[in-house]
Structure 1
Amino acid sequence: SFKASEYYQHNELSTLNDSAKSLNSTLGFDHIYLVNLAKRSDRLEKMKAVVNALNLDVEYFTAISTDDHKTLDRFNNATYMNATHKACYVSHYLIYLSIAYNRYDSALILEDDVDIELNITSIMTYIHSVLPSDWDLLYIGHCMGWEGAFDPPIEETSETFKLYPSKKPYCTHGYAISAAGALKLIKELATLYIPLDLQLISKIDEGVFKSYSVNPAPIIQTNDNPSDVSPDAEFLEYKSLINSTLYSLGLK
């Protein structure tokens, strides 16, 4: 049987510093995880440049690969998914366990193929000011264009980046989880038969998770290097940023 204590720390923790984290360095969350496959050192170097440019404090979390049979086999509750989808699910599920184990009040999960608005700190300062206290999930990045298309924002504002109730927030490249949300995820996603983002949408539709989305998305997937953490990303329409961090660094 799977034991959380065995696997939540499956890789060494790697943070930029050990000092107390400020609001700015973790965008208002207790912790930031950046998920990266060990074989993709190219992406890791690019993401380190983004992290440094934005003065973020992150934990580099090694994603489970499709050939890590020892770990994947412990999750025999996801046998109907192909290996790539299962590896994505297990990687994120391990982070949910880590959030709960470390008793973080909240955490942001980033995948290694993202670009971020240069003023993400000020964007998130506003978002936190209007985010309901009983939130479970917060999609700062999403795909497919459903978010903000049908409902009014939580607060009418002149701010460019507004907060909306989540509709169908496809993709998992940039989303945050509250402490309560992590416990719900561990319970509700213990068994999975469809890709992670589709299961999350289903649970949001059912009212299991109180979820919100920022639109336009200030965290996007890059279109020059399709995701191998979220395997279906190459089929999605890509968004653009107003002020791209990668562009400012000459990396795009």
Structure 2
Amino acid sequence: MLFAAPTRLNFVVVGLVITAFLLFYGSFRSPRPEEQDLFESADAIPTILEASLAQPPARTTTHVEDVTHHVPPDDLAHRVQNETLGFQEIYMISLPGRTDKQDAFAVQAAFSEISYTQVDGVYGHEVPVKALPHTMGQSSNVIGCWRAHLNVYQRMVHEKVSTALVFEDDADWDVSLKEQLVQFARGSRFITNTAEDAFAHSPYGHDWDMLWIGHCGTWVLPDDNRRFFVIPDDYTVQPPEARVDNVDQPDMSHWESGPRGDNRTRIVFHSEGGVCTASYAISQKGARKALYHLSMVPYNSPVDWGLANLCKNKEYEFTCVSPWPQLVGVSRPTANTAKWSDIGYGPDSERVVEQGSSLHLVYPTRQNIPNFLHGKTIFHSQYPDIAPPMSIKEIGKAVGHVEILEPENLPEHG
């Protein structure tokens, strides 16, 4: 008992020493995450104030003149050639019962390394009359098609999707689509006044509403018929005589006539609209405009004509860009022609079996599926006399340039 007091004193001294050591050591250790927040919020105040006085706040605008980040060509290609082709989402519309078309699209997309979300098509007779614009007087099949596309726009607006590429289930494309889209993106950037090397929210430029890449006829906007992005010597361009099944087309005489005429020229331009919706891209602001003008006000047209009217009518400020010839076509399998369309073009009983083909394409993915399955790297065209078998790199090697035409060289409006 005589040594108890000194022992307690020793313990106290040792404890004080240990505590002092831990406090000293703690001044050098990294703070825990919750402590880090406190330190940063307090210590950073003078720095933040100094920075705010030294420079203006960061700007989020995407106008060309405000851009400081530049995109090298290789980066543009990388952004366009990903699994969603440079868009936030890809949607494929298909009636639930058309598993045959869904099978074909899945295989095409797999070999093209495209990722997509399937969206149910709509049977027109299931759309309640109360859900239609009060002026709608279209057939059941047309109503179903209209509603299916509007459902995509509604989903985009609700989920805040910035851009989406929309396919219908019978869409087809050349095996070199990703290479083609790089040149189209350069053209779209020019048409939307986005500097070629400027960073934009979309690799296709800013301030566009619709990119009509899969139409069956299109027109040049008369107010902007001097500015074109021109892609010559393009093996994916159909010969002129094969384009007659389109509803209408731009005048190509400036590029195809004369001693240096090139029938393999594709152009990209500010569009007055198009016909058919095999494929197109639409932006968030474009989806909002389309929902309003095609559903919420008096309306009575097929969906493609409604979109074309948006492109044409200046008051809607709906910016559309089209390529001619188109980049996405339509697959027609070897079968009874009644299988080809769910909109319908006459009684099914009057249809006959016809050989399969892909409209508006030269090296179609659908027709080359056997080559993909066998691991081949050389692909066949639908026009072997003028487009021999080639690799994807060779097929998609065309490079475009900007042209601003003088008044005397302006093509006639289609």
TM range, smaller chain: 0.7 to 0.9
2:340 to 226, 239, 244: 226
Unpaired segments ≥5 residues, structure 2 = 1-78, 193-205, 235-265, 334-338, 347-357, 372-381, 383-414
Q: After the TM superposition, which segments of 4 or more aligned residues of structure 1 sit over 4 Å from their partners?
A: 147-153, 230-233
TM-score normalised over the length of structure 1: 0.79
More displaced stretch, 203-212 vs 217-226: 217-226
Q: In 2, Cα distance between the equivalents of 1:73 and 1:138? A: 31
Give the C-alpha shift of residue 77 in structure 1. Answer: 1.1
Q: In 2, Cα distance between the equivalents of 1:218 and 1:47? A: 16
2:229 to 155, 173, 179: 155
In structure 2, the residue matched to 1:81 is: 138
In structure 1, the residue matched to 2:275 is: 170
In structure 2, the residue matched to 1:214 is: 323
The alpha-carbon distance between structure 1 residues 149 and 205, as it changes in their structure 2 partners (threshold 3 A), is closer
TM-score normalised over the length of structure 2: 0.50
8 Å CA contact 2:221, 2:312 repeated in 1: no
8 Å CA contact 1:148, 1:215 repeated in 2: no
Q: What SS class does the counterpart of residue 89 from structure 1 fall into?
A: helix
More displaced stretch, 238-247 vs 173-182: 238-247
Give the C-alpha shift of residue 248 in structure 1. Answer: 1.0
Give the C-alpha shift of residue 226 in structure 1. Answer: 2.7
Give the C-alpha shift of residue 104 in structure 1. Answer: 1.5
Give the C-alpha shift of residue 106 in structure 1. Answer: 0.6
In structure 2, the residue matched to 1:59 is: 117
Unpaired segments ≥5 residues, structure 1 = 1-20
8 Å CA contact 2:153, 2:287 repeated in 1: yes
1:185 to 269, 284, 290: 290
In structure 1, the residue matched to 2:99 is: 41
Q: In 2, Cα distance between the equivalents of 1:60 and 1:206? A: 31
Q: 2:180 aligned with 1:123, yes or no?
A: yes
2:360 to 240, 246, 250: 240
The alpha-carbon distance between structure 1 residues 216 and 55, as it changes in their structure 2 partners (threshold 3 A), is same
Q: Which has the higher contact order (CA 8 A, sep 6+)?
A: 1
Match of 2:109, as an amino acid? Answer: V
Identical columns (%): 21
In structure 2, the residue matched to 1:9 is: none
Please identify which structure carries the higher helix content: 2
The alpha-carbon distance between structure 1 residues 35 and 155, as it changes in their structure 2 partners (threshold 3 A), is same
Q: What SS class does the counterpart of residue 163 from structure 1 fall into?
A: strand
In structure 1, the residue matched to 2:89 is: 31
Give the C-alpha shift of residue 165 in structure 1. Answer: 1.8
8 Å CA contact 2:209, 2:286 repeated in 1: yes
Give the C-alpha shift of residue 87 in structure 1. Answer: 0.8
Q: In 2, Cα distance between the equivalents of 1:109 and 1:46? A: 16
1:66-105 equivalence runs, <5 A: 66-69=124-127, 72-77=128-133, 79-105=136-162
The alpha-carbon distance between structure 1 residues 28 and 48, as it changes in their structure 2 partners (threshold 3 A), is same
8 Å CA contact 2:187, 2:269 repeated in 1: no
